[in-house]
Amino acid sequence: MIYFSPQHQTFFDDAIHTAEHIPADAQIIDETQHTTLLDALNRGAKIKSDLSIAERPSIVHKWQPETQEWILDKTEQNKVFQAALNQKLKVLASTSQDFVTTKTRTDVVPQFEQETYALQGLEAKAWAADKTADTPVLNRIADERGIPREILKAAALRKALWYEKVAASVAGQRQALQVRIESAKTLDDLNAIEITFRLPESE
């Protein structure tokens, strides 16, 4: 015969266990009950003394054998919430970076070239303000590409201004989302925050 012990939350079989090893609270169960109770235990539920099943409300609930009920473990709840909040912030950061990288097509440009963008932008702005301004980096790029310097400078200026506009817009959106995430009080609050970004409107 198969027994189940609510106190130990486990099964015993008299074909394996001697009578002295089967707890006093163990109750005889049939095959159907065995399957039902085993499935319940495997999904994290607990079995009461009347063999009824007490489902675990959440991962932050702790079973109390004395009262045979689940109680909210606030310490664990805080740990789980903080971990979820930190993960949400990481996703926010990576999603915003990926959005800007993709929309400005810097994902198809090698790192060393990206590192010249700031200087290219400064030279392009200086050229826009004063067509006689010295622009050695842009001049070299134009010459290597075999295109007129003025055309490259104009293109560099448009690219720099567009990147700044996209970056500023997404930075503002990201910061607004960060405030919402850090203001969340529950996991439901966190899960309700959708992380999406949009491009700025063209002027």
CA angle (74, 190, 185) in 5-degree steps: 45
* pLDDT above 90 as % of the chain: 93
- Alpha-helical segments (H) within the chain: 31-42, 74-103, 111-114, 117-129, 136-145, 149-183, 187-191
Q: What is the mean pLDDT of residues 168-192?
A: 96
Within 8 A by CB and 6+ apart from 111, the residues are none
Q: What is the mean pLDDT of residues 43-63?
A: 94
Residue 203 pLDDT more than 70? no
What is the predicted pLDDT for the residue at 60?
87
* pLDDT above 70 as % of the chain: 99
What is the predicted pLDDT for the residue at 201?
85
- Pairing of the two strands 27-29 and 2-5: antiparallel
Q: What is the mean pLDDT of residues 11-20?
A: 93
What is the predicted pLDDT for the residue at 174?
98
Q: What is the mean pLDDT of residues 10-27?
A: 94
DSSP state of 68: T
Q: What is the pLDDT of residues 110-164, one digit of tens each?
A: 999 999 999 999 999 999 999 999 999 999 999 999 999 999 999 999 999 999 9
Per the CB < 8 A criterion, the answer to whether 12 and 22 are in contact is: yes
Average pLDDT, the chain: 95
What is the predicted pLDDT for the residue at 202?
66
